[in-house]
Amino acid sequence: MKYVFLIIPLYVALGIKRKEKDIAFFVLCGLAFLIGLFLLLFDGVYLAETVLGGQR
């Protein structure tokens, strides 16, 4: 699952060829890639731990 974001560049490349896309598409793809990369780099970080911390 952590590597799913790697399909984004491929999809963008193929998507541009097929149809005209607008800015929303590129922004969301960029976000998907960055979030995926961030979570891959910070592997082992969990939302429940980060937000709830001591309550767990």
Least distance from C-beta 54 to other proteins, angstroms? Answer: 12
Please say whether the beta carbons of 36 and 4 come within 8 A.
Answer: yes
Least distance from C-beta 13 to other proteins, angstroms? Answer: 13
Q: Which is nearer to other proteins, 1 or 13 (CB)?
A: 1
Instruction: Show the binding pattern over residues 13-52: x = contacts other proteins (CB under 8 A), - = does not.
Output: --x---x-xxxxx-xxx-xx--xx--x-----xxxxx-xx
Q: What is the DSSP letter of 19?
A: S
